Amino acid sequence: MLTLVSALIRARQHFAHRPAFFTDDGRQIHWATHCDEVSRLAGALVALGLKPGDRFAILAANSLRQATLIHAGFWMGAVATPINTRLAPTEIAQILDDSQPACIWVGATALPIFDTPELNAWSDRAIDLEDSTGGAMTNSYSALLAPAEPADVFEAGEDSPAILLYTGGTTGRGKGVALSHRNVVSNGLQVGLALSVTGMDRMLHVAPMFHSADLLGTAVTLAGGSHAYLATPTPESFVDALESMKITYTMVPPTILQQVLAHGLLSQRDLTALRIFISGGAHVPLELLQKAQSFLSNGSMVHGFGLTETSPILTMMHYTQVCESQGPDSSALSSVGRPLAGVDTRILDSTDRDVPIGETGELVVRGPNVATEYLDCPEISESAFKNGWFYTGDIGSIDSDGFLSIVDRKKDMIITGGENVYSAEVEAVLRQHPEVSDAAVIGVPDDTYGEAVFAVLVAAGQAAPDIQSVIDFARQRIGGYKIPRQLEFVDELPKSALGKVLKAELRARYGAA
Q: Annotate 57-116 with three-state secondary structure.
A: EEECCCCHHHHHHHHHHHHHCCEEEECCCCCCHHHHHHHHHHHCCCEEEECHHHHHHHCC
Residue type, 320: T
> What DSSP state is assigned to residue 127?
E
Q: What's CA 177's distance to the chain center, in Å?
A: 13
The number of CA neighbours under 13 Å toward the Cβ of 159 is: 3
Q: DSSP characters for 12-65? A: HHHSTTSEEEE-TTS-EEEHHHHHHHHHHHHHHHHHTT--TT-EEEEE--S-HH
Annotate 484-497 with b (16+ C-beta within 10 A) or e (fewer). beebebeeebbbbb
pLDDT tens sequence for the chain (513 residues): 789 999 999 999 999 999 999 998 889 999 999 999 999 999 999 999 999 999 999 999 999 999 999 999 999 999 999 999 888 898 899 999 999 999 999 999 888 887 889 998 999 999 999 998 766 687 999 999 999 999 999 999 999 999 999 985 444 567 999 999 999 999 999 999 999 999 999 999 999 999 999 999 999 999 999 999 998 899 999 999 999 999 999 999 888 998 999 999 999 899 999 999 999 987 888 999 999 999 999 999 999 999 999 999 999 999 999 999 999 999 999 999 999 999 999 999 999 999 999 999 999 999 999 999 999 999 999 999 999 999 999 999 999 999 999 988 888 889 888 788 889 889 999 999 999 999 999 999 988 888 899 999 999 998 899 999 999 999 999 888 899 999 999 999 998 888 889 998 998 898 764
Q: Which helix (H) or strand (E) holds 474?
A: helix 467-475
175: left (phi over 0), alpha (psi -120 to 50) or beta: beta
Q: Could you tell me how far CA 237 lies from the centroid of its own chain?
A: 20
User: Distance between alpha carbon 157 and the CA centroid of its chain, in Å?
Assistant: 25
In contact, 112 and 7? CB cutoff 8 Å: no
| Residue 317 CA, distance from chain mean position | 17
* All structural domains of the chain: 4-184 (3.40.50.12780), 331-409 (2.30.38.10), 413-510 (3.30.300.30)
Buried b / exposed e over 62-90, threshold 16 CB at 10 Å, is bbbbbbbbbbbbbbbbbbbbbbbbebebe
CA angle 101, 107, 110 (to 5 degrees): 85
Closest CA to 296 of 323, 315, 316, 314: 323
Helix (H), strand (E) at residue 257: helix 254-262
Give the gyration radius of the chain's Cα atoms.
23
Reduced to 3 states, what is the DSSP secondary structure of residue 304?
Answer: strand
CB contact at 8 A, 308 and 392: no
Taking the C-alpha atoms of residue 282 and residue 104, their distance in angstroms, rounded to an integer, is 29
Instruction: Show Cβ contacts of residue 503 under 8 Å, excluding neighbours closer than 6 positions.
Output: 170, 412, 440, 442
Which residues make beta-bridge pairs with 344?
Answer: 366
- DSSP β-bridge partners for residue 450: 446
Alpha-carbon distance 114 to 413, whole Å?
A: 37
